[in-house]
Amino acid sequence: MFKDARHAVILRQLRLRGTVTTDQLADELGVSVISIRRDLRDLEQQGQLRRVHGGATVPRRIVREESPLETAAIGLNPASSRPDAPLAVIGLIVPGSEYYFGDIIKGAAHAAKIAGIRLILGVTHYSTEKELGMVRHLAELGAEAIIFTPSNHDLTVPAVHALLTDPPAPIVLMERRNARTADAPALDSVRTDHALGAELAVRHLHSMGKRRIALMAFPNATAPHLQEGYAAAIADLGLEPVEVDLQLSEKQVGEWAADPDRFAGAYLDLAEEQGVDGLLVNPDMHAVSLARLLVSRGREVPGDVALVAYDDVIAELCEVPMSAVAPAKFDLGANAVGLALQRIKALAEGRALATVHSTLVPKLNVRDVHEGALITLA
């Protein structure tokens, strides 16, 4: 390996570890300890490091001060060296780049910029075939870890399970819960506790005096978790669950995804037959359609029917400002980058690292219909 290439490796290892030893570098680079000492001397003369007994450390002039609170919480430190030498390369693969995933991408990009990480984005448009190839492609591009949201929330699907069991780079699952089976791969993950978010919503509706509470969840990866939380809260409150099932075909799911008014109308017809007076609605664009439809039918919101939206992208802008559960999407992306970097550092240091499952709690934003006030409840 040429001297310039060795220098690049030494500086990268120094940024990852904070300190390096001559013996370790000689072993990793396959050169003599004498050659490593010369390299460290040259780099010290350039001001890139500070030699110490048996190795080197970061020079005092670029030792970081206490990390900002926002980055310390996710294990990141501000970048301290050349912009053309990223601390690490991390891939980010998501099903979409708008609506739900837009803020997640922003959070990941923000954390990567602070830490001096190069982030490579891949959008699969909910194609399993495309995402499997993209994981391998990003690894070939040099991604040392990949943050991955599979399109299918069922990770036991053979092709997905095979990839996760033997990935080309360390994987951090995002917004997906790993399968709880004996052969499930040990993967880091970060996700929103959607079930808890649903519980917060149901309990809020109950506090408003609502007793016929139903869940209107458009079929997506979040729906099963909302159903879990809804069922738990309804049982704990001693209420009777209200099943409003449209029994949509796969074709209808695809057609109605882009037509929230049509979906809301069909759902509301069935809900009114069952005397529903409280609704948890996912996503919030369907909640907005539902509120508008209720008003057009002469129903008072929240007097006759109260709504809580799941996700809080446009709920506050509805003609009837409504309460909404807001997943911490920006923080989710940032935390995923932090987990990926921890895994990269552990591999660079040759140490074992326990598998991490990180769960973020969403917030219930309660809005007063008359004054538009916003109160945030954890």
Instruction: Note the pLDDT tens digit of each residue in 99-156.
Output: 899 999 999 999 999 888 889 999 999 898 999 999 999 998 889 999 999 998 889 8
SS3 of 159-190: HHHHHHHCCCCCEEEECCCCCCCCCCCCCEEE
Which is the CATH superfamily of the domain at 194-327+364-377? Response regulator (3.40.50.2300)
Average pLDDT over residues 192-209: 96
Beta carbons of 268 and 283 less than 8 angstroms apart? no
Beta carbons of 43 and 49 less than 8 angstroms apart? yes
Which CA distances in Å does 54 have to 3, 16, 29, 45, 87?
A: 20, 18, 16, 17, 23
Q: Enumerate long-range contacts of 239-242, CB under 8 Å, 24 or more apart.
A: 239/206, 239/211, 239/213, 240/212, 242/212, 242/213, 242/214, 242/271, 242/274, 242/276
3-62 and 70-186+332-360: identical CATH topology: no
Q: Where are the domains of the chain?
A: 3-62, 70-186+332-360, 194-327+364-377
Q: Would the pLDDT of 286 be above 90?
A: no
For the stretch 144-156, pLDDT in tens is 999 999 998 889 8
Token pair 């993950």: residue: 189
| CATH fold group of domain 3-62 | Arc Repressor Mutant, subunit A (1.10.10)
pTM for this structure?
0.77
Task: Check residue 267 and give its pLDDT.
Answer: 83
For the stretch 219-237, pLDDT in tens is 788 999 999 999 999 999 9
Q: Could you tell me the two tokens for 354?
A: 């326990």
Q: Could you tell me the two tokens for 220?
A: 């997506």
Average pLDDT over residues 254-281: 81
Q: Could you tell me which CATH number the domain at 70-186+332-360 has?
A: 3.40.50.2300
